[in-house]
Structure 1
Amino acid sequence: MQTAIGEAQWRAISTQDTEELATLIASWAKPGTLLALDGDLGAGKTAFSQFFAKAIGVQGIVNSPTFTIIKEYEGAEMPFYHMDVYRVSLEEADELGLDEYFYGSGVTIVEWASLIEELLPEERLELYLEHTGGEERLIRLKGIGETYAGWCQSLNDREVGKQNG
């Protein structure tokens, strides 16, 4: 059986647009949700993660887990696991027991996820953030699996509605 794949793009003119996307995706999240973030250095991966965390009810400051690798937060209805694997080898990541997070009761965001792609669940939402000048960002999304492909379709439908409205 072939895995469903969907793609979408989100143009963020400002950080508010990035927050809008993070909030929308957070509204769809459920336990076991995995967001795999990649992109240019300084493109907004951590900012996206902070907006997402806020949208699921995480209180307090969410900062980059660059040196701690994994940070756990309590959200309103489920835990939030924030990972940064930039400084971790594939072998080191494999020893961290990431499956407990990926398939657990919370939602996970992995920054620099492509570095551990073979350890990620097959079904996930990949987001690639890139600078397009000033505060503008282009966020390319790839949903792997029926759920995430559906999210991309919903984003595409939403963009068509914006253009026609």
Structure 2
Amino acid sequence: MSELLLPDAEATDALGARLAQTLPARAVVHLHGDLGAGKSTLARALLRALGVTGTIRSPTYTLVEQYPLADGGLALHLDLYRIGDPGELEFLGIDPADARLWLVEWPQRGQGALPAADLDIELTVAGSGRRCLLRAGTATGLGWLGEAGLA
């Protein structure tokens, strides 16, 4: 487990870039935190660092946004805050085989219907910045944190 202080938006962008530079072949990230904790901001920073251009929308109302990655594959950004039951994920038309990266906000609402997290990231407000806890959930996640210098 690693703990970081992200004092500003630039620090969040830098964390996204570190994670992007060392992204495994396939990865699932569960993003935890209250409303306004910075989950979408970190997801956006990671996607930008992976070469996603154009508008990166928060999936708050669409539930899922898909982004082609510059080096191939697809990133899925899900926000499950508005679902009532994990079974609803079935109707989103997500093909797990297509996804190189899963970024899942409010993953507890999809418990049992989501792939296991390689990396759990918990964000909390800390003054004018954010406190970030990174926990590996799999060997892939542990290797990712090590490669990023975050282990």
Map residues 63-82 of structure 1 onto 2, 5 A cutoff.
63-77=57-71, 78-82=73-77
Amino acid at match of 2:140: T
Q: Secondary structure at the match of 1:58?
A: coil
Aligned to 1:96: 92
Q: Secondary structure at the match of 1:110?
A: strand
Q: Secondary structure at the match of 2:111?
A: helix
Moved over 6 A (4+): none
Q: Secondary structure at the match of 1:118?
A: coil
Q: State the TM-score, normalizing by the size of structure 2.
A: 0.88
Aligned to 1:4: none
Contact 1:49 1:109 in 2 (8 A): yes
CA drift of 1:56 comes to: 0.6
Contact 2:2 2:135 in 1 (8 A): yes
Q: Does 2:134 match 1:141?
A: yes
Segments of structure 1 that go 5 or more residues without pairing to the other structure are: 1-6, 157-165
Contact 1:31 1:104 in 2 (8 A): no
Deviations 1:16-39 (A, max 9, x none): 111111111111224421111010
Q: Report percent identity of matched pairs.
A: 29
Compare 27-36 and 108-117 and name the one that shifted more.
Answer: 27-36
Aligned length: 147
Compare 46-55 and 23-32 and name the one that shifted more.
Answer: 23-32
More helix by share: 1
Contact 1:59 1:75 in 2 (8 A): no
CA drift of 1:104 comes to: 2.8
CA drift of 1:57 comes to: 0.6
The one of 76, 79, 82 equivalent to 1:84 is 79
Aligned-CA RMSD value: 1.7
Contact 1:56 1:76 in 2 (8 A): yes
Segments of structure 2 that go 5 or more residues without pairing to the other structure are: none
Aligned to 2:11: 17
